[in-house]
Amino acid sequence: MITAVFDTKPYDREALQSVPGSAGLEWRFLEFRLTKDTAPTARGAQAVCVFVNDQVDRPCLEALAAQGVKLVALRCTGFNNVDLAAAKELGLTVTRVPVYSPYAVAEHVLALLLTLNRKVHRAYNRVRELNFSINGLVGFDMRGKTAGIVGTGKIGRIVAEILRGFGMKVLAFDPVPNRDWAAEHGVEYVDSRTLAGASDVISLHVPLTPETKHLIRRETIELMKPGTILINVSRGALIDTTALIEALKLGKLGGVALDVYEEEEGIFFEDLSGQVLQDDELARLLTFPNVLITSHQAFLTREALGDIARTTVANLAALAAGQPFVEGSVLT
Ligand code: NAD
């Protein structure tokens, strides 16, 4: 059975091919993203394997279904880039990786937060230039400060627990609160406005849906204390970038760490060094000394890649053998 793997990076190829049981599968590794225009390159494949920035919209799904593809296997958790209603109508199965090391993503939040707070990104550059001045690098003790966790699913809960370990007070907001967990870890659920106004650090851990799009916009930023640090490792469109830039220019925010960006498609994951960056908002964000951007790498640990590859291969093998898919992974 042939699987067309779109947006393949060297680490995807290595992880997928090293799963025991993957030897029986035939891979067609493609470096470009899946769109309606590139869908014909899946011809002859029974499955396509896609990632976060492939555009799996209705025209793309129609093209895949027309050439006999049966399965769209997402090698990620979020599925906001797939038109599930269209897939269902077309009789295509869509699977995702429901769980992979949430520690990978949660620990990246800490990497970003500590870097931003203690200005390690600036210190690193200074010392390389033999500038040993520490002026302007003042941070704050995390102990005793308040963190607000928006979304206490798998990742948000781990971030909260780690921050409790730093001696922070942790507030949380989630429409489906997990009260037993909160009691066990000394986390307090509050409404979203209280969280916005009381937190020194706010970290977003919600899926991108029509309801959560621009969860952080001008009105929500206005509720925040001056100097708040905002972290987004979930999905770029949770934040209204224009409003974020406006707040940064006014000096309202203490710092912003982003592993995801609203318009990241076609930019993140690519080596564009030597080219002219065409995205003016991203270019502006990169000029702020208190903005730290990584290129959607929160998931990038050996453990997470192994988990992702094992679930993906298990679902492909299940399709080939006519067996049930991995529990919890089927979206349509
Ligand atoms: P999860 O499904 O376990 O948890 C999501 C939580 O968000 C749930 O508890 C849900 O009730 C809550 N929620 C939904 N709408 C909300 C709202 N409006 N306000 C507050 N809470 C709300 O998901 P997870 O595994 O913790 O992952 C969270 C997100 O992280 C994913 O949806 C994905 O977009 C992102 N992610 C990013 C990376 C990366 O590499 N940067 C990797 C994995 C996941």
Angle at alpha carbon of residue 218, lines to 235 and 113, rounded to 5°: 50
Contacts with 262 (C-beta within 8 Å, 6 or more apart), sequence order:
236, 237, 239, 240, 241, 281
Distance CA(65)–CA(311), nearest Å, equals 23
CB of 220 closer than 6 angstroms to any ligand 1 atom: no
CB of 148 closer than 6 angstroms to any ligand 1 atom: no
Identify the pLDDT of residue 21: 86
Distance CA(197)–CA(186), nearest Å, equals 20
Token pair recorded at residue 321 = 């053998």
Strand order in the sheet with 26-29: 26-29, 2-5, 47-50, 71-74, 93-95
Distance CA(136)–CA(293), nearest Å, equals 20
CB of 307 closer than 6 angstroms to any ligand 1 atom: no
What is this structure's pTM? 0.94
Q: Please, what is the end-to-end C-alpha distance for the chain in angstroms?
A: 21
Among protein residues, the one whose CA lies closest to atom 19 of ligand 1: 174
Token pair recorded at residue 144 = 């005793």
Closest CA to 71 of 306, 310, 318, 308: 318
* Angle of the 10-17 helix axis to the 302-321 helix axis, nearest 10: 60
CB of 237 closer than 6 angstroms to any ligand 1 atom: no
CB of 176 closer than 6 angstroms to any ligand 1 atom: yes
DSSP 76: S
DSSP output for 162-210: HHHHTT-EEEEE-SS--HHHHHHHTEEE--HHHHHHH-SEEEE-----T
With beta carbons less than 8 A apart as the criterion, state whether 12 and 33 touch.
Answer: no
228 phi and psi angles, rounded to 5 deg = -65, 140
DSSP 88: H
Kindly list the structural domains of the chain, giving each domain's residue range(s) and its CATH number in brackets, ordered by start: 2-100+301-321 (3.40.50.720), 102-293 (3.40.50.720)
Ligand 1 probe mutation, 52, 152, 154, 155, most atoms within 8 A of CB: 155
With beta carbons less than 8 A apart as the criterion, state whether 285 and 293 touch.
Answer: yes
Question: What are the mean pLDDT values of the chain's consecutive 10-residue runs (332 residues total)?
Answer: 97 96 94 98 98 97 98 96 98 97 98 98 98 98 98 98 98 98 98 98 97 98 98 98 98 98 95 97 98 98 97 97 97 97
CB of 10 closer than 6 angstroms to any ligand 1 atom: no
Identify the pLDDT of residue 85: 98
With beta carbons less than 8 A apart as the criterion, state whether 6 and 34 touch.
Answer: yes
296 is catalytic: yes
Residue 179 carries which side chain, given as an amino acid letter?
R
Selecting among 108, 235, 262, 310, the annotated active-site residue is 235
Among protein residues, the one whose CA lies closest to atom 9 of ligand 1: 153
SS3 of residue 4 by DSSP? strand
Q: What region does 322 belong to: left with phi over 0, alpha with psi -120 to 50, or beta?
A: left
Among protein residues, the one whose CA lies closest to atom 31 of ligand 1: 207
96 is catalytic: no
294 phi and psi angles, rounded to 5 deg = -115, 160
Contacts with 222 (C-beta within 8 Å, 6 or more apart), sequence order:
none
Among protein residues, the one whose CA lies closest to atom 4 of ligand 1: 153
Ligand 1 probe mutation, 107, 112, 154, 205, most atoms within 8 A of CB: 205
94 phi and psi angles, rounded to 5 deg = -120, 125
Selecting among 75, 122, 157, 296, the annotated active-site residue is 296
